[in-house]
Amino acid sequence: MAKEKKLVEAITSMNEDFAQWYTDVVIKAELIDYSSVRGCMVIKPAGYALWENIQKELDARFKETGVENVYMPMFIPESLLQKEKDHVEGFAPEVAWVTHGGMEELPERLCVRPTSETLFCDFYAKEVESYRDLPKLYNQWCSVVRWEKTTRPFLRSREFLWQEGHTAHATAEEAEERTKQMLNVYADFCEEVLAIPVIRGQKTDKEKFAGAESTYTIEAMMHDGKALQSGTSHNFGDGFARAFGIQYSDKNNQLQYVHQTSWGMSTRIIGAIIMTHGDDSGLVLPPRIAPTQVMIIPIQQRKEGVLEKAEEIRRTLAAAGIRVKTDDSDKSPGWKFSEQEMRGIPIRVEIGPKDIEAGHAVLVRRDTREKVTVPFAHLAEETAKLLEAMQKDMLERAREHRDAHIYTAETYEEFKETIDNKPGFVKMMWCGDEACENKIKEDTTATSRCMPFAQEHIGDVCPVCGRPAKAMVIWGKAY
Amino acid sequence: MAKEKKLVEAITSMNEDFAQWYTDVVIKAELIDYSSVRGCMVIKPAGYALWENIQKELDARFKETGVENVYMPMFIPESLLQKEKDHVEGFAPEVAWVTHGGMEELPERLCVRPTSETLFCDFYAKEVESYRDLPKLYNQWCSVVRWEKTTRPFLRSREFLWQEGHTAHATAEEAEERTKQMLNVYADFCEEVLAIPVIRGQKTDKEKFAGAESTYTIEAMMHDGKALQSGTSHNFGDGFARAFGIQYSDKNNQLQYVHQTSWGMSTRIIGAIIMTHGDDSGLVLPPRIAPTQVMIIPIQQRKEGVLEKAEEIRRTLAAAGIRVKTDDSDKSPGWKFSEQEMRGIPIRVEIGPKDIEAGHAVLVRRDTREKVTVPFAHLAEETAKLLEAMQKDMLERAREHRDAHIYTAETYEEFKETIDNKPGFVKMMWCGDEACENKIKEDTTATSRCMPFAQEHIGDVCPVCGRPAKAMVIWGKAY
The beta-strand segments (E) located in B102-210 are: 104-112, 136-145, 159-169, 199-202
Is the CB of B37 less than 8 angstroms away from the CB of A123?
Answer: no
B161: number of CA atoms within 13 Å, CB side? 25
Q: Which long-range contacts (CB under 8 A, 24 or more apart) does A316-322 make?
A: A316/A379, A316/A380, A317/A349, A317/A379, A317/A380, A317/A383, A319/A380, A320/A380, A320/A381, A320/A383, A320/A384, A322/A293, A322/A294, A322/A380, A322/A383, A322/A384, A322/A387
Closest-CA distance, B410 to chain A, in angstroms, reads 42
Do A258 and A170 contact (CB within 8 A), yes or no? yes
Rounded Cα–Cα distance for residues B387 and B369 (Å)? 13
Rounded Cα gap, residues A30 and B126, in angstroms = 13
Q: Which residues in chain B have Cβ-Cβ distances shorter than 8 Å to A112?
A: 74, 98, 112
Binary contact (B129, A3; C-beta < 8 A): yes
> A10: Cβ–Cβ under 8 A, 6 or more apart, which residues?
A280
Mutate to test the interface with B, among A3, A30, A37 (most CBs of B within 10 A): A37
Cβ atoms of B340 and B324 closer than 8 Å: no
pLDDT tens digits for A150-191?
999 999 999 999 999 999 999 999 999 999 999 999 999 999
pTM listed for this prediction: 0.96
Which residue, B146, B216, B147, is CA-closest to B175?
B216
Beta bridge partners of residue B233, listed in sequence order: B216, B263
Q: B190 by DSSP, 3-state: which?
A: helix
Partner residue facing A35 (CB), from B43, B48, B73: B73
Residues A320 and A349: their CA atoms lie apart, in Å, by 15
**B119·A73 Cβ contact <8 A:** no
Percentage of chain A lying above the pLDDT 70 cut: 98
- Which pLDDT score, from 0 to 100, does residue B85 have? 86
Give CA–CA dist A226/A395, Å, rounded.
18
Is there a contact between B387 and B335 (Cβ–Cβ < 8 Å)? no
B149 or A228, higher pLDDT: A228
The amino acid sitting at B58 is L
Q: Report DSSP state, residue A93.
A: G
Alpha helices, H only, A445-475: none
pLDDT-derived band at B90 (thresholds 50, 70, 90) equals: confident
| Nearest alpha-carbon partner for B233 in B173, B183, B175, B186 | B183
pLDDT tens track for B175-224: 999 999 999 999 999 999 999 999 999 999 999 998 999 999 999 999 99
Distances (CA, A) of A348 to A358, A386, B424: 18, 11, 59
> Considering only A87-96, B42-51, B105-114, B367-376, which range has the smallest mean pLDDT?
A87-96
Which has the closest alpha carbon to A81: A115, A118, A116?
A118
| Most distant CA atoms of chain A, gap in Å | 82
Q: How confident is the model at residue A140 (pLDDT cuts 50, 70, 90)?
A: very high
Mean pLDDT, residues A17-32 taken together: 97
Amino acid at A217: T
Contact assessment for residue B95 and residue B145, using Cβ atoms and an 8 Å cutoff = yes
Q: Which of A92-96, A294-298, B92-96 has the highest mean pLDDT?
A: A294-298
Interface of B with A in 111-140 (CB under 8 A): 112, 119, 122-123, 126-127, 129-130, 138
Cis peptide before A333 (omega within 30 of 0): no
What DSSP assignment string belongs to A243-312?
Answer: HHT-EEE-TTS-EEE-EEEEEEEETHHHHHHHHHH-BTTB----TTT-S--EEEEESSTTSTTHHHHHHH
Put simply, the answer to whether A93 touches B103 (Cβ < 8 Å) is yes
CA angle centred on A141, ends A37 and A203, rounded to 5°: 90
Beta strand pairing call for B159-169 and B425-430: unpaired
Distance, in Å, from the CA atom of A317 to the CA atom of A293, rounded to the nearest integer, reads 10
**Burial status of residue A209 (CB atoms within 10 A of its CB: 0-12, 13-18, 19 or more):** buried
Residues A118-153 as b/e (b if ≥16 CB within 10 A, e otherwise) read bbbbbbbbebbeebebbbbbbbbbbbbbbbbeebbb
The DSSP element (H or E) to which A386 belongs, if any, is: helix A379-403
pLDDT bracket for residue A1 (50, 70, 90): very low
pLDDT bin (cut points 50, 70, 90) of residue B61 is: very high
Round to whole Å and give the CA distance between A357 and A367.
28
* Per-residue pLDDT at A417 exceeds 70: yes
Supply the pLDDT for residue A7: 58
C-alpha dihedral, A274 to A277 to A282 to A286, nearest 10°: -90
Residue B167: its chain A contacts at CB < 8 A? none
DSSP for B366-426? TTT--EEEEEGGGHHHHHHHHHHHHHHHHHHHHHHHHHTTEEE-SSHHHHHHHHHHSSSEE
**Residues within 8 A of B (CB atoms), A 247-276 only:** none
Instruction: From chain B, pick out residues whose CB is under 8 angstroms from the CB of A166.
Output: none
Helix (H) or strand (E) holding B42: strand B41-43
Q: Please determine, for residue A141, whether its predicted confidence score (pLDDT) is greater than 50.
A: yes
A261 and A175 in contact (C-beta within 8 Å)? yes
Distance from CA of B238 to the nearest CA of A (A): 22
* Residue whose C-alpha is closest to residue A74's, from B264, B98, B340, B461: B98
The predicted complex's ipTM stands at 0.95
Nearest Cα neighbor of A287 from A392, A400, A402, A154 is: A392
Going from the N-terminus, what domains does chain A have, and what CATH number goes with each?
A: 10-277 (3.30.930.10), 294-386 (3.40.50.800), 406-476 (3.30.110.30)
**Interface contact flag, A74 B98, Cβ < 8 Å:** no
Q: What is the reported pLDDT for A87?
A: 84
pLDDT at A4 over 80: no
Count of residues for chain B? 479
Residue A168's φ and ψ, nearest 5 degrees, are: -130, 135
Q: What are the φ/ψ torsions at residue A33 (nearest 5 degrees)?
A: -140, 155
Mean pLDDT computed over every residue of chain B: 96
| Partners of A414 in beta bridges | none
Q: Give the residue among A348, A339, A344 at the shortest CA–CA distance from A383.
A: A348
Per-residue pLDDT band at B9 (split at 50, 70, 90): low
pLDDT bracket for residue B3 (50, 70, 90): very low
When pLDDT is cut at 50, 70 and 90, the band that residue B415 belongs to is very high
pLDDT tens per residue across span A45-57: 999 999 999 999 9
Identity of residue B243: A
Closest CA to B170 of B98, B260, B293: B260
Question: According to the model, what pLDDT value does residue A3 have?
Answer: 46
Which residues in A lie closer than 8 A to residue B33 (C-beta atoms)?
123, 126-127
Q: Which of A441-450, A462-471, B32-41 has the lowest mean pLDDT?
A: B32-41
User: What per-residue confidence (pLDDT) applies to B4?
Assistant: 46
Sign of the CA dihedral running B447, B453, B459, B461: positive
Whether the per-residue pLDDT at B401 is higher than 70: the answer is: yes
Strand residues in A117-211 grouped as ranges (E): 136-145, 159-169, 199-202
DSSP bridge pairs for A227: A221, A478
Closest C-alpha among A164, A176, A169 to residue A133: A169
Work out whether the CA dihedral A183, A186, A192, A198 comes out positive or negative.
Answer: negative
Please give the C-alpha separations between residue A405 and each of A41, A178, B268, in angstroms, as whole numbers. 32, 32, 53
Residue B275 near residue B196, CB atoms below 8 Å: no
- Over pLDDT 90: what percentage of chain A? 94
Contacts of A287 (CB under 8 A, 6+ apart): A293, A346, A347, A387, A388, A390, A391
Q: Which residues contact B337 (CB under 8 A, 6 or more apart)?
A: B297, B348
CB-based contact, A355 to chain B, within 8 Å: no
Average confidence score pLDDT of chain A: 96
Q: What is the distance in angstroms between the Cα of B141 and the nearest Cα belonging to chain A? A: 10
pLDDT of residue B84: 86
* C-alpha to C-alpha distance for A214 and A232, rounded to whole angstroms: 10
Residue A65: per-residue pLDDT: 98
The string of pLDDT tens digits covering residues B283-326 is 999 999 999 999 999 999 999 999 999 999 999 999 999 999 99
E strands, B80-158, in order: 96-101, 104-112, 136-145
Calculate what percentage of chain B has a pLDDT beyond 70.
Answer: 98
CB contact under 8 A, A71 and B43: yes
Averaged pLDDT, B145-165: 96
**Contact flag A138-B45 (C-beta cutoff 8 Å):** yes
Of A195, A155, A163, A157, nearest to A285 by C-alpha is A195
Give residue-wise pLDDT tens across range A185-233: 999 999 999 999 999 999 999 999 989 999 999 999 999 999 999 999 9
Bridge partners (DSSP) of residue A413 are none
